[in-house]
Amino acid sequence: MSVERTFSIIKPDAVAAGQAGEILAMIQKAGFKIIGLRMTRLTELQAGGFYAVHKERPFYQGLVKFMTEGPIIVMALEREDAVKGLREVMGATNPANAAEGTIRKRFAENIERNCIHGSDAPETAAVELAFFFTSAELL
């Protein structure tokens, strides 16, 4: 296994609820190095583009509305097996199915407002990292 990068977002629900610090602490405790981090707010165009893969899904419009409702924190993370490892720390998309001790089990309200995003594959991670960070910004 080699060192890998992944991309994550602390979503508007968790930022608004003041949970960003605790979520970051859980990510760091799981061994991730933060190599990029910024607070931003998505436009409808950006959120729609980021989640374009879900364009035909019934939850797409609600998801875009949710992701633009307030500030988010975007992060570039590095660790061995980072993509799979972050998905494990996050827990299942629906918090009702998330394992004990995961971020979504602890902080997510429901399947939409689920507090964190994490890339689902190394190829997706590369695209998502480039969406928010230039290579010069990743330390």
Q: Rank residues 52 and 136 by Cβ distance to Mg ion and give the closer one.
A: 52
Q: Which of these, 94, 97, 89, 84, lies nearest to 124 by C-alpha position?
A: 84
From residue 105 to residue 134, what is the string marking binding to ligand UDP with x (rule CB under 6 A)? ------xx-x--x--x--------------
* CB of 131 vs ligand UDP, minimal distance in Å: 15
54 catalytic? Reply is no
* 76: its two tokens: 């570039």
* CB of 92 vs Mg ion, minimal distance in Å: 11
Distance, in Å, from the CA atom of 139 to the CA atom of 136, rounded to the nearest integer, reads 7
Can you give the C-alpha Rg of the chain in angstroms?
14
Q: Which residues bind Mg ion (CB under 5 A)?
A: 120
Q: Which residues bind ligand UDP (CB under 6 A)?
A: 54, 59, 62-63, 93, 111-112, 114, 117, 120
Which residues are known catalytic residues? 117
